Structure 1
Amino acid sequence: MQLMAYGLAALAILVMGLNVVLAVRLRRAIVGGEIGEKWGLLTILVAFFFVGYLFSPLALYYEIPREYLSMLVFAVFLFGAIYVWVVIGIIRDMLTFLKLVKK
């Protein structure tokens, strides 16, 4: 079971690493404005998650105490919620720009 957890962590790290590269490339392509500003925040959150993914196998290996793992899980929930909020804002701004949504 532990080996499966490490395998899943490795796969998640790989996918999130690709997400970081894509987010940074898109950030460089966005000229600015409100969407560019929000995309910068999104890129920071993706990088934050990537660092968390890198440390997740270490938490298993060193058997971090349960109370710290609980705090880590709820921090991930919080930043995940912020991530979703920013993504919704970007989509809303793009649709408003394309005049597909009423203000």
Structure 2
Amino acid sequence: MSDEGFEIDLADAQKAADVALPNLANHLRGPVTVLFSHEGLHGPGGNMPAVDNVQSVYAHYTDALAERLRHGREVIDATARTLRDIVTVYRRADGQI
């Protein structure tokens, strides 16, 4: 970094905003769907109270995990949008657009 202040590589920042961050958010989409789908553990013998209890606890756990992943994805998407805006401001300031 120079003595004149903050520096940014606009090409790298643009790549992060357009490729890296969206790819990261996409990687979180798959697990969210799977975690929200609750598959039953009931077999041919019918319901078992112990299985019902475990299944309920597991469903709440996976819902909480999916919610965290969904929130993380939203934060990553917002970061990408903000980074695009920052790159635009820097390009305007440099007379590139």
Q: Tell me what 2:63 maps to.
A: 69
SS in structure 1 of the partner of residue 37 of structure 2: helix
Q: Which has the higher contact order (CA 8 A, sep 6+)?
A: 2
* Identity percentage of aligned residues: 4
Instruction: Answer 1 or 2: which has greater helix percent.
Output: 1
Deviation at 1:90, TM superposition (A): 1.3
Asked if the contact 1:42–1:86 (Cα under 8 Å) also holds between the matched residues in 2, the reply is yes
Asked if the contact 2:21–2:77 (Cα under 8 Å) also holds between the matched residues in 1, the reply is yes
2:93 corresponds, among 74, 84, 99, to: 99
Structure 1 gap ranges (5+): 1-31
CA offset digits 1:46-100 (Å, max 9, x no partner) = 42244246536x714x166111111111121122112211210111111221239
TM-score (norm 2): 0.50
CA distance in 1, matches of 2:73, 2:33: 16
Structure 2 gap ranges (5+): 1-10, 41-57
TM-score (norm 1): 0.48
Q: Tell me what 1:38 maps to.
A: 17
Q: Which amino acid aligns with 1:51?
A: G
CA RMSD, aligned part only? Answer: 2.8
| Larger-gyration structure (1/2) | 2
SS in structure 2 of the partner of residue 98 of structure 1: helix
